[in-house]
Amino acid sequence: VSAASCGSESDLCGLTGVLDDCFCDVESIDVFNNFKLYPRIKKLTEKDYFRYYRVNLKRPCPFWPDDGHCAIKDCHVEPCPESKIPVGIKSGNYNKYSQAANTISDMNDCEQAKELGAINSTLSNQSKQAFADWARHDDAQDHFCELDDETSPDAEYVDLLLNPERYTGYKGPSAWRVWNSIYEENCFKPRSVYRPLNPLAPSRGLCLEKRVFYRLISGLHSSINIHLCAEYLLDEGWGRSVWGPNVQEFRQRFDTAVTKGEGTRRLKNLYFLYLIELRALYKVAPYFERAFINLYTGNSQEDSATKELLLQVFNEIRTFPMHFDEKSMFSCIVWFCGFDREEFRLHFKNISRIMDCVGCSKCRLWGKLQTQGLGTALKILFSEKEIQNLPEHSPSKGFQLTRHEIVALINGFGRLSTSIHQLHSFRLLLKDNR
């Protein structure tokens, strides 16, 4: 592979200039993310509230017979013992319904945590009714993802920091089949004809909504590939595994010459997805800025520091001048494109179900989390009016986020932020290898 085709200091695989469909350039995103936002997001995802994710990795694949799980040791996900989970996080119903953590003192053992399953008895009748309405609304919410049943005996807490996303060596048949099926979900149904789109073909000429859907999936795929290239299994000698960046693997997936120009488009789709999720965080900030919303773990000092850091992230996001305008994303005429919100939602929900077909447990974990994060971002963008009408001092019947969605949203965006940060590292490595 010619180094000149991918990796000059100013042009990574042709990745430069203005992105399609939005008025923003790659260079501005790089500076904003790598020097301002990434350090804060990284620190935030290390906080207890965001590091523990409850997930069911034993759900059967709903689309084809299970071809068996990966037997490679690095595919394994180590669940977190209940004793290690912060007591406030284990009290799932409490977090889901009230989040008014300032009304409850710190809890120190599991027996006390069980009491948090019910709504706090010190709350007013009006608040209790609001919380009950909140719960009913949450259960009936039109989610963009297939949500795990957190009460299932197969659902377990996972410490994301101890189970990092990286290349495990798995190359089973489900890896190809999953992504092929995901791209097939890019097939929208026009009013006159049902015609699949070629996922390998350029996305030009498509209706804007269909092009957006394709770019979301391509951006997510690119981000995951970058993580795998940056944390590649390099050596298993002497009883320990060594991970690090694999430049050759990166070139194979993104080099302009090897991919016949497709690598550049894949990377631009990553930036496109980054802007969409960045816009969702911008939109949802008022939800978290209300005083009674607390990211509850049971440790008041930790909770206060976590919320303060989250608010700093929102303040930093407000300084970015080139936000993606989601109104243009859905400006295509409905009758011409055959598009509606429900079709968009159902297509994306199917993609989240496909993640249960991934053979590698660690890949399944991070695929489910990042898909859930994107689904939560779409839920936010489709709920602009409800967020604008949020009451300042009480829960809203119109819009709510569960802890599961919040953790996925922040960690999912954190993965995108990490991808762009890792691109800078690959740029330097490619420059050295010229």
Catalytic residue chosen out of the listed positions 61, 75, 332, 360: 360
- Average pLDDT in the 189-213 region? 50
> SS3 helix, strand, coil % of the chain, rounded to 5?
55, 5, 40
Does 353 carry a binding-site annotation? no
Rounded to 5°, the CA angle 401-405-411 comes to 135
| Predicted local distance difference test score (pLDDT) of residue 257 | 85
Top mean pLDDT of 139-148, 166-175, 266-275, 348-357 is at 266-275
pLDDT at 416 over 70: yes
337 among known catalytic residues: no
| Predicted local distance difference test score (pLDDT) of residue 22 | 65
Query: Regarding predicted confidence, which is higher, 231 or 121?
Result: 231
Q: What is the DSSP letter of 36?
A: I
Query: What size, in residues, is the chain?
Result: 434
Does 347 carry a binding-site annotation? no
Q: Per-residue pLDDT tens for 302-323?
A: 999 999 999 999 999 999 977 6
145 among known catalytic residues: no
> Which region holds residue 283: left if phi is over 0, alpha if psi is between -120 and 50, else beta?
alpha
| Predicted local distance difference test score (pLDDT) of residue 50 | 97
Closest CA to 219 of 415, 430, 9, 426: 415
Query: Regarding predicted confidence, which is higher, 259 or 140?
Result: 259
Domain boundaries, the chain: 3-432
Lowest mean pLDDT among 9-23, 268-282, 416-430: 9-23
Catalytic residue chosen out of the listed positions 6, 70, 357, 363: 363
Closest CA to 266 of 252, 249, 248, 254: 254
User: In the predicted model, what is the mean pLDDT of the chain?
Assistant: 76
Q: How far apart are CA 86 and CA 124, in angstroms?
A: 27
Lowest mean pLDDT among 228-242, 252-266, 283-297: 228-242
pLDDT at 274 over 70: yes
Top mean pLDDT of 8-22, 84-98, 369-383 is at 369-383
Residue that is written with structure tokens 């978290």 in the block: 288
Q: How confident is the model at residue 71 (pLDDT cuts 50, 70, 90)?
A: low
pLDDT at 38 over 70: yes
Give the burial string for 265-279 (b: 16+ CB within 10 Å, else e).
bbbbbbbbbbbbbbb
| Predicted local distance difference test score (pLDDT) of residue 109 | 36
Pairing of strands 52-56, 155-159: antiparallel
| Predicted local distance difference test score (pLDDT) of residue 345 | 77
Q: How far apart are CA 418 and CA 218, in angstroms?
A: 17
Lowest mean pLDDT among 55-69, 91-105, 208-222, 414-428: 91-105
pLDDT at 102 over 90: no
pLDDT at 145 over 70: no
- Residue 307 amino acid letter: K
Q: How confident is the model at residue 190 (pLDDT cuts 50, 70, 90)?
A: very low
pLDDT at 19 over 80: no
Q: How far apart are CA 416 and CA 418, in angstroms?
A: 5
Q: Per-residue pLDDT tens for 331-361?
A: 443 333 445 667 777 777 878 788 888 888 8
Does 331 carry a binding-site annotation? no
Question: Do the beta carbons of residue 223 and residue 229 sit within 8 Å?
Answer: no
Q: Per-residue pLDDT tens for 114-134?
A: 333 333 334 455 544 544 444
Does 215 carry a binding-site annotation? no
pLDDT at 276 over 70: yes
| Predicted local distance difference test score (pLDDT) of residue 76 | 82
Lowest mean pLDDT among 172-186, 193-207, 322-336: 193-207
Q: How far apart are CA 404 and CA 411, in angstroms?
A: 11
Percent of the chain with pLDDT over 70: 67
pLDDT at 233 over 60: yes
Name the token pair of 43: 């620190």
Q: How confident is the model at residue 86 (pLDDT cuts 50, 70, 90)?
A: very high
12 forms bridges with which residues in the sheet?
Answer: 15
Does 393 carry a binding-site annotation? no
pLDDT at 420 over 60: yes
Lowest mean pLDDT among 29-43, 99-113, 262-276: 99-113
Name the token pair of 420: 């762009």
Up-side HSE of residue 68: CA atoms within 13 Å toward CB? 7
pLDDT at 64 over 70: yes
pLDDT at 135 over 80: no
Does 266 carry a binding-site annotation? no
